Structure formats: structure tokens, C-alpha cells
Amino acid sequence: MKPRLFYCLALPLALSAPAAAFTDPASGDIAPYTAESGAPMDEIKQAMETPHLGLSLRVDPDSKSISGLALYTVQAITPLDSVEFDLDPRFAISRISVNGTVRPDSSWKNDGGKLIIALPAPIAADETVQVEIAYSGEPRVAPNAPWDGGFVWARTPQGKDWIATAVQGTGCDLFWPCLDHPSKRVGVLDLVVTVPSGLTAASNGKLVSVEEKGGWSSYHWRAKAPNDYGVSLQIGPYELAEAEYTSRYGNSFPIQFWHLPGQEENAESLIAEMHTYLDFFESTIGPYPFSDEKVGVAETPHKGMEHQTINAYGNEFVASPEGYDELMQHEFAHEWFANQLTGARVSDLWLHEGFGTYMQPLFLEWKDGHLAYDAAMWGLRKRIHSRVPVAPHEEVSSTLYDDADAKWGQDIYYKGAWIAHTLRGLIGDDAFFASLRRMVYGRPDPAPGNFAPRRGTTAEFRQIAEEESGRDLGWFFDAYLRQAELPRLIAEQDGRMLRLKWESGSDQTFAMPVDVQVSDRLVHVPMVDGTGSVDLILPDAHYVLDPFGMILRDNPAIAAWQKQQQDKAKAGD
């Protein structure tokens, strides 16, 4: 069915059904249900798939408002008599239609952000229904994009409108009706963004067409299976820099960078850098996942975000001392770890951020060698807090990300990267990178055209790593991901004997082998039952535990330093 994409372009902004009472979009007010992304799904959502969405959005910078029309094809997994979407209740809904017939107001309700629509007649499993939602209003203004999300209404240095969305933590429902859960994707998204003439709307997928009419420009983008929080708008007086990349896999695709006027030289430089990133990722992980669309980047008024095929970039072209744009490389890593592989639950978010963060030290190792890798890993180690589990068995709220006491929003990055580092040291490069490849692509032999975006879990990654390494890793995953505290290595010397013992919050024996440097000897201690010993030969021999820094473990010196930094910060308040 051809979607009715352009029907909403002239939607009025004052609509009949009143929105929920929010004092001011700029205040950061948000309904509790809307604030949580990835909330547990009820039976209705679980029974829905959305093979197609035609979404039209008109963005008005003068009134800082949007009007939208979402035309969904909904397919039932099991019989349905209602359908459900998430939509910020600050928006007014003017019309809901099912199969082209307008439904009465009594047939639907938006209860605090959960929009439930009764169907005129039930549909059976595998049947489809067309659902159309017309809405408008002033979207939430991001209090602190990209971390605390919403719309960013800004101005370029030349005073032109410059607009962006960033909704990872709070979800897609901040500006379009969606299934705000990581396990749900739209099969094909046809997105039409209408903006005042003179502005460009850069978004996901491939640009199908541009239409000019009455002082407005409509940009039609088409994306396959976008990650819901990765659907985004980048709007500004952009100029386009682009180049073609020829992949080691035999295909080629465009790199496109929408940048502000006057930044052409910087944009060209970053595109050249992107060639290097692609070479690294394709040789280390596998083929670029969205080669039939594009590698896309847009300059934004906020720091950055990993929107699928249109990464937001606001790092102002500042290179790190290591000679690369660390933020751009991190966000680009998410094309593999977030957009191709999406965690099935919020508690699996470390699969995005932990591996995305680990790609920076890995890139430095690939580019500059072991010293650069080790220095980067040591920098990350000092930022680990271990107050709550990284990936608990039970689901967690997305609001945990911003919990200043729990520090989960930091640990999924830095502890996640160190878990990857330690696992690599334990099972070896061959098994580690084979595990990553299978996890990302769902197969060991990815090639352009033979894979699609997929969902994954921590438990699945454990199973894959066990198969690739040929060893049980339950103790590893339990200690590092299901528990909060880090394992402690106890060393006690009795004469010439050094006795080692692991203590862990896990009920399972922590069987991490330990290398010990004894003078000029390197001794490998298996620690199969969590204990081991080393003959020092001489009672006064100097020894170093884990001399190559391969094991993530409790470090009292770092804990003391972190407390000192925290006390200084409090004293300065």
C-alpha cells in the first residue's frame, strides 16, 4: 500500500482534542510513563508488529511546534481487538482512523502517554490493519541534550534556525507515536519532514525526494528497520559534503556529511577520517550494516548521538591527543552496537555502550599499537564505580541511566568496556572476535545482503562466547554482569609461598586465571577453584599480580581516589 505521506503537511496546530496539562515545554516537565523508555510491554504491544510506517512531520521553528500524521500498517502476532502506541500526552490528537474510517473519541484514550485504540472489529493472527494518528503540539525541549532528551531549538552562528532531536533515554514517543521498546522496530519507515524553505532536514535512510511548495520544503527519507530511538531530525541551513567508500567486501556506498556553512574543510577532513573508521570496523567486526542506505553525519547543536545512518555530531571538530575525533568514532561504533545489534531489554544496554566504548581502545591499538590501547584502558578503569549490576537478570528502568548515586549510566560504558577487555584476555582474540561477529550479525560469515538488524541479550552473548571458546563462562558473566561488586584478589605470603584467593559477590566460584610476575619469571596460575599458589623461590622476591592489566578487579587505590574526588566536589558546592 502506498503511504499517504503528504497529507499532513498543512495540518493546523490548534486541534480539537486537548493535550495533557504541561506548564511549559521548556520546563522539562514529562509524564512518568513517557519518561521511561523500554517499559515492560503489555499483551497488546507484545502482539503487534509494524511492517510499515508513513510518518509526516511539519516542523515550525517560529512556534517551536510540530504537527504529525502517522499511518501504520499493524500486523497481529496473536489476535487483537485493540492496538497501542506510546505518545507524549503533551500532544493533542485531532483524529484517529482505522482502515480509512475515522474512529470516535470514545474508542481511544491516551492515558499518561499510553495510547490505546479499540479496533472496530478484531483481527486474527497475521492479519493487518491500517491505523492513522494525527497529532500536534509543542514537543518537550531537551533540558540537557543528548542525555536528557527532546527537541533542541537553536541558532547557528549566522542566526539561522538549527534544530535537532535526541531521545535515547526518554524514547521515540517524545515526538512520534511509536512502540517505545528496544525489541520493536518499524519494518520500513517512510519519513517526510517539512521545514521552512532554506532549511534542510537530514534524517535516516535514503533520500527519496525533495518537494518545494508555498515556502516549505518536504524531505522524504526511507529507512529499513530503524532503531526506534535512532529515528531523528537534524534541521539547519546545511551544506552537503560527500564521498564514496569502497569496502573490502566488494560493495561501495556514500559517506554524507550535512554541515553548517563555513565548515566545508572540517567536514572533508572528518569524511577522510571516516574512511579510516570504516576500514577498522570492517576488518575488526564485519561489514558496515547499512551499506544500501548511507553513512550519514549531521552537525548538531548538541554533543552527539548514534542515530541510525545519520549520526548527530556536535564535537566542533576537536581532535583528541591521540589524533582522532573520539566522539565521532564512538557514535559511529553504534552503527554496529545499537543499530545493527540492539539490546532486547534496557538491562542489555551495556551491549550498546560497553562495546561501543571498547571500540575506542581497540581502534587505538589498531592504529597506534599496544601503548595507546593500554593508556586508554587505564583511563576508563578510573571511571568504574560498581554500585549496581551492569546487566541484572531483572529488567531495569531507563531512568536508572541518570541516577547519580547508582552510576549505572557510567558503568555500562566503562565497566562494560573493561568486561570486554577481560573476556578477550580470558578466551583469546580468535574466540572473542568470532563471538562479537556472531552477536552483531547473527551469523559467523556476514556479507552485504545476508543479514538484517537484530536483537540480542546478555544471556545470548554468553552462549555464543561459550560456544566459540569451548568453555563454561557462567561464573564470568555472573560475577561481572549480574553482581555489583568487583571480584577481589587476596594475596598472602607465607615464606616463599604466595597464596592467592578470589572473593566475589557471586555464588559461583570465580575461576579467573592470574599471571604473576616474579622477578624475571612470568607464572600462570590457573585458579580453577578460585585459589592458587606461586613458589617465589626467594622469600623477598618482588612480585606483581596481573602485570599486563588483563583482569577487572577491585582496586582500593582507585576507590580511595574516587572518594577523594567526590569529597572535593561536595566541598566546592
Does residue 353 have a known ligand-binding role? yes
How is residue 74 written as a grid cell? 499493524
Is 413 assigned a catalytic role? Answer: yes
Is 265 assigned a catalytic role? Answer: no
Give me the sign of the Cα torsion angle 467, 473, 476, 482.
positive
Q: What are phi and psi of 19, to 5 degrees?
A: -80, 165
Does residue 132 have a known ligand-binding role? no
Distance between CA atoms of residues 207 and 382, nearest Å: 43
Q: Contact at 8 Å (CB) between 228 and 178?
A: yes
Distance between CA atoms of residues 484 and 482, nearest Å: 7
Instruction: Give which of 298, 307, 295, 294 is closest to 259, Cα–Cα.
Output: 298
Instruction: Please measure the distance between the N-terminal and C-terminal CA atoms of the chain and give it in whole angstroms.
Output: 59
Distance between CA atoms of residues 462 and 477, nearest Å: 7
Distance between CA atoms of residues 177 and 174, nearest Å: 8
How deeply is 402 buried, as exposed, middle or buried, from its count of CB atoms within 10 A (0-12, 13-18, 19+)?
Answer: middle
Q: Helix or strand or coil: residue 291?
A: coil
Q: Contact at 8 Å (CB) between 186 and 203?
A: no
β-pairing verdict for 311-313 and 295-299: parallel
Residue of 36, 132, 299, 331 with catalytic role: 331
Q: Helix or strand or coil: residue 331?
A: helix
Does residue 181 have a known ligand-binding role? no
Tell me the helices (H) and strands (E) count for the chain, helix number first: 11, 28
Residue of 219, 277, 401, 413 with catalytic role: 413
Annotated binding site: 330, 334, 353
Q: Which residues are annotated as a binding site for Zn(2+)?
A: 330, 334, 353
Any idea which residues carry the catalytic annotation? 331, 413
